[in-house]
Structure 1
Amino acid sequence: MRFSTQFAATTLLASAAHAAWKEGCKSAKWDSQEDFWLNKYEPNESLPFVPTYNGTYVTIRNRQRRYVVLHCSDERPPTSAVGEEALFVKVPIESVEVHDGFTQDLIDMLGMSSAIKRTGAYADVTNSCIRGNMLANRTFDESKWDQTEPANVTFYGNVAASDPKKVLIYSNGGQAPLVQLAYIKFLGMFWGMEETANEIYSKVSANYRCAAARIEDLVIKNEFPKGAWISAIQSNGKELTVFQNDWWNVLAADAGSNLVNVSSEAKAPEDAWSAPGAYIMDANKESVLSKESFAIIDTSYYDQVKEKNVVINFENNSPRVDVKNYAQRSGMGISAFAIKEKNVYLSDKATNRNLRHNFFDRGLARPDLALLDLISVLKPGFNSGYTTAFLRSIEKPDEMDPQRSMDSQCVKKGEEVSSLKLNECKLPEWATGYHAAGVSADAYGRNGKNVKSLALDGKSSGLTGGQKAGISVGSIVGGLLVISAAVFGVMVCKRKRSTQKTKEMEEGKLDSPSPSIKV
């Protein structure tokens, strides 16, 4: 997907500080032959959304049956031009209702958290900024919707609930990490923030790919444990949901691992279409998972309060899941190799007062951090200064990062990129040009099918050899942006500045644009 930006000498229609449309679109006829769009994404079928531009409007397929139609003119196009079921949205929007945490996090990353006026249940919100806005009565959960006006558009993530009046955001693991992240570009279109969204995507994807390249460098040097296979699960105490989807497959491969394949011993759920790559199996039954999982990543919501808005008392609650109670709480017993060796990591490090963690929300929005967390499990010492964002060992029940209610945590305008808090990462010398890390499973062509799991050796030494790596993981700096070259989709920024704008930049009146980036 190519992203082109053209700045004309004419006055621009702006949303806040973001120029997105030419002057005159608001009063233009819907079928005007003039092209009012200054920022465009070229269609790419491999991404979550496919835009088609017209003079005053863009039709977007986002894997729903009908189009989402964004129009900058007051006169919207007729349904005869875009389909009877089309959802029309006048842009730029002012307010949104957001029901899924992934979308809430992306909107906060864009610096637009103040636009979120309504959410679902308070207990389901894991973003500290948005919880803080609720505390300040700027955002309202479903129990307080009567205190605010309906929003311009509603986003939701429940793929099992079809609603033609809302915009569906898929966050069910069916897409690779950097394909999933591309939703930030889609959301940016509602405010005319394509440039900001593109820059955030470029930085996060570069951070991800640099970490993946450093792992491949260790593999090449034979300094990474072969066969440290993992299983990503969720338990209800009796059954395990085992994730074998695209998101986990790509993440595991880029971390130097593989997922233990349970498809021959497990069954797909009845609603498999809504949860692709999820398999169900008996928690306590001896299986390939228990035998071959060198490490287990457990994403369960242990002790989550079912009454959505009931706040629990941590002190009076049952003990947090740890080494002593994990086998019983998960239902797996003590026979599994990863449990015996204490190679179990829970994604509940950052947990709210209803004991709902943020991994499925922020983890999808920050795949670079999810990757670094997984690497820290597989290669201790890979980056000695890195603190996990989501995962904690069952040996560390007190390791917590409370989800606070603080509007001071909101991403501020102009600080969208700096708020990512990226560190430096130096690419290996060989890591130049195109690469598919974050998008394709086994991007480096390792093909670990003939490598047996370290768990079958009955030894736990495989995860301890990383102390010598000492690699700093974070953002790409200087000329090292080349690792983020175009992959299936992601975009090329081409900027054409007017003579006047270039002159203003040279005089320091405007910030200089980012360099052309392939991501």
Structure 2
Amino acid sequence: MFKNSIAWALLAMLWALPAQSQSNPANDTANGWIYEELPGYTLLHNLIANTSYALVPQGQVVTVSGNVPQISVPITAAAADTLDVLGFAELLSSNVTNTFTTGSSNILLANTSPCFTMSNNASAPYTFTNGTSTANNTIVFSANDPSLTPLQKVWWLQYLAYFYNEEKVALQTVLSITTNYNCIKIRVNSGVKDPYAIAWTQANMVTPQVYEIRTDTYAKTLITDAAAKMIAPNSAQDKTYTNVGEFHLALHGADVLLDTTPLSEGELYPQWQKIMNMVPGASLFYESEGYYKNRQVYRTDGLVSQSGYSNFPERYAARPDLALMDMIAIQYPTFQNTYNTTWLYNFAIGSSPHTMPANYECKDTLAMISNQIHCYGDEPFTPPATQVAPTNETETEDNSSSGDQSSSLSTGSKAGIAIGVIAGVAALGGAAFLFYRKRPTAEPSHNFYKMDDI
């Protein structure tokens, strides 16, 4: 409690400082955006989309140099054409959430937060989008870019806040989330000595079917910060596979799979196994892998709205601390005994998503953040001895190997075995693939989404 008090006291001191004396750590090109304070207005640069905006106070007329769209701030009405902007807006005041009066049809359907009362019939002078539009009425919001780390994404809260004159509120919230994230990262990494290996996978339902292992900066950083190793092809290899045997081999050593394959309504783990060509009893080598034999396959849609849409695409970028806690909790449930995962759930053991509570409140952001995570960074976490040990011979993104290093097989022998396995499994997998592609197809359930959307 004393340590938490110190952290909050420091945040309070920062809050009390005059705005002009504060050095804003958000003004870092690594975050994907920067700002310039110019006479009479602020120039905001989205470096990812290569767009800029001149933010002019309401009612004032200033001369803006260059061909830059002018936006009167604070914005009084806006539309949403990207789901994640709503997750960030929810962390600001009701003055911000109330401005979102409309959205595109898919956003109106998929929005999970009761903090917004958007309508099909409303109009708005500005639209937040994640595209590359340069139209005067669009504002590109690029927080979902996969090249950003989890903590770089959260700084887009302040980017959004500039359009509403709420930079100070945003800064306090970002620093609080960052404090949570860094604390739990330090605690788990200082105590875990024998890490698990996690792969983030997806099968895309096209013809021929494509299997993908996620390799982007966001996924890699989140997994690494959770004291785990990422199973992924190295930079010289493909991250997508049309050969199911090669895909299975690339997952060798994975203790946990985090999967976002689009599924049809009512499809559960057995149907997912068929899609991934991991058929029980086929005696293929994946049956000895940790993720398979220990049934450690998770999905990200563990929190859904009353109408069944996943909350993860809307809020994951705005709350990296919860995303990291989830990643730690699926490995070490005792890390924080009071924490229940927000988005991740064990799909392989038949767990079900939970619905957002009917009494969900849209206020007091900092109180909510402080109540969700309790961390003391100077107390390293020690995994319980009863936990299943990580799989040996784990091939990670840098081609390094963990586990038992005393194997009697030479590198050449292992390569020969691998080639043989690929050839054999490719034949079996090809036959299984042709068989299971005959299964009736249905429209994907709205609970699930493409990897590109997260």
Instruction: Decide: shared fold, TM above 0.5.
Output: yes
Task: Note the 1:488-503 alignment, pairs <5 A.
Answer: none
Shift of 1:198: 0.8
Aligned to 1:200: 173
Aligned to 1:318: 266
Aligned to 1:117: 101
**Structure of greater relative contact order (alpha carbons < 8 Å, 6+ residues apart):** 1
Q: Which runs of 5+ in 1 are unaligned?
A: 9-19, 21-36, 268-278, 304-316, 432-446, 458-519
Check 1:66–1:393 CA distance in 2 against 1; reply closer, same or farther (3 A cut).
Answer: closer
Q: 1:283 and 1:418 mapped to 2: Cα distance?
A: 49
Task: Note the 1:51-450 alignment, pairs <5 A.
Answer: 51-63=35-47, 64-72=49-57, 74-78=59-63, 81=65, 83-84=66-67, 86-111=68-93, 112-122=96-106, 126-130=110-114, 133=116, 138-140=117-119, 144=120, 147-151=121-125, 153-158=126-131, 163=135, 165-170=137-142, 171-219=144-192, 222=193, 225-226=194-195, 228-237=196-205, 238-263=209-234, 267=238, 279-282=239-242, 284-287=244-247, 288-303=249-264, 317-319=265-267, 321-322=268-269, 324-333=270-279, 335=284, 336=286, 337=289, 338-352=291-305, 356-403=309-356, 409-412=360-363, 415-420=364-369, 421-428=371-378, 450=400
Give the letter for the 2:138 counterpart.
K
1:44-76 C-alpha deviation (Å, 9 max, x unpaired): 222221111112101111123331110115344
Give the letter for the 1:379 counterpart.
Y
Q: 2:294 and 2:123 mapped to 1: Cα distance?
A: 54
Q: 1:257 and 1:75 mapped to 2: Cα distance?
A: 52
Give the letter for the 2:304 counterpart.
T
Aligned to 1:50: 34
Give the letter for the 2:105 counterpart.
A
- Identity between Structure 1 and Structure 2 (%): 16
Secondary structure of 1:296's counterpart equals: strand
Aligned to 2:428: none
Shift of 1:164: 5.4
Check 1:251–1:365 CA distance in 2 against 1; reply closer, same or farther (3 A cut).
Answer: same
Secondary structure of 2:220's counterpart equals: helix
Q: 2:179 and 2:39 mapped to 1: Cα distance?
A: 33
Q: Which runs of 5+ in 2 are unaligned?
A: 1-12, 382-396, 408-454
Check 1:73–1:359 CA distance in 2 against 1; reply closer, same or farther (3 A cut).
Answer: closer
Instruction: Answer with 330-339 or 99-108: which moved more.
Output: 330-339
Q: 1:356 and 1:207 mapped to 2: Cα distance?
A: 27
More helix by share: 2
Q: Is the 8 A contact 1:347 1:390 kept in 2?
A: yes
Shift of 1:265: 7.9
Q: Is the 8 A contact 2:173 2:366 kept in 1?
A: yes
Q: 2:107 and 2:35 mapped to 1: Cα distance?
A: 34
1:258-287 C-alpha deviation (Å, 9 max, x unpaired): 2113146853xxxxxxxxxxx322372234
1:293-325 C-alpha deviation (Å, 9 max, x unpaired): 22110123322xxxxxxxxxxxxx524x22x33
Q: 1:165 and 1:360 mapped to 2: Cα distance?
A: 24
Q: Is the 8 A contact 1:113 1:410 kept in 2?
A: no
Give the letter for the 2:212 counterpart.
T
Give the letter for the 1:252 counterpart.
I
Q: Is the 8 A contact 1:229 1:453 kept in 2?
A: no
Give the letter for the 2:82 counterpart.
D
Give the letter for the 1:232 counterpart.
W
Q: Is the 8 A contact 1:99 1:120 kept in 2?
A: yes
Check 1:38–1:128 CA distance in 2 against 1; reply closer, same or farther (3 A cut).
Answer: farther
Q: Is the 8 A contact 1:229 1:295 kept in 2?
A: yes
Aligned residues: 362
Provide the alpha-carbon RMSD of the alignment.
Answer: 3.3
Aligned to 2:445: none
Secondary structure of 1:300's counterpart equals: coil
Secondary structure of 1:110's counterpart equals: coil
Q: Is the 8 A contact 1:369 1:389 kept in 2?
A: yes
Secondary structure of 1:167's counterpart equals: strand
Shift of 1:126: 4.6
